[in-house]
Amino acid sequence: MNGIQLIVGLGNPGAQYEATRHNAGFWWVDQLARQHGASLKLDSKFHGLLGRARIQGQDCWLLEPNTFMNASGRAVAAVANFYRIPPQAILVVHDELDLPPGGIKLKKGGGHGGHNGLKDIAAALGTPDFWRLRLGIGHPGDRDAVVHFVLHTPSRDEMRSIEIAMDESLNALPQLIDGAFEAAMLKLHTKPKTVAKVEKS
């Protein structure tokens, strides 16, 4: 298999965090699980909620770490090591401050951009060379306001934009599972062109 074998959604456990921007990765994996009839169950051995979905005729593991964000790597490394999943077959879905609500970017490797979940996963795997699906949540405009911002609920308009982005990005799952990453990027990064209407005078 050359494609994605493990999809990790990032977030913080607990009801008080469910609707906050930092939990966008959880929202995405929850939606994927609903679409594919998968159920995630708490597995203490893997420090998180783990399930399996059948996509494109292949089994793919779904994981939501049950640790707080800055300790996400413990769960990811536990699953990856047990099932012998290499870093390049892991997709981490996370909130992204540097993209507006509704923005989507797929990339492999690179820095963590101050995201504590990515930072811990790279440390636990011993490499940053895993795939990331970045879900835009916007930026408060002030670095000092970031913690407050990510731990609060998006506005209704922001949430609608994020939901549309999640739907669009889930459409790229077949390519991701098949390892057709360039095709997945093309699908995700190409926005449909709007046709301008010419007003008749």
Length of the chain: 201
The candidate with the shortest Cα–Cα distance to 17, out of 144, 109, 147, is 147
**Token code pair at residue 168:** 């669009």
For residue 60, give the H/E element and its range. strand 58-65
Indicate the residue type of 4.
I
Known binding-site residues equal 17, 68, 70, 116
The C-alpha atoms of residue 192 and residue 133 are separated, in whole angstroms, by: 20
| CA angle 150–170–31, rounded 5-degree value | 65
C-alpha Rg value of the chain to the nearest Å = 17
Known binding-site residues for tRNA equal 17, 68, 70, 116
Active-site positions?
22
CA distances from 195 to 76, 94, 95, 198, 201 (A): 44, 32, 31, 9, 19
**Residue 8, Cβ neighbours under 10 Å: how many?**
29
Cβ atoms of residues 86 and 39 within 8 Å: no
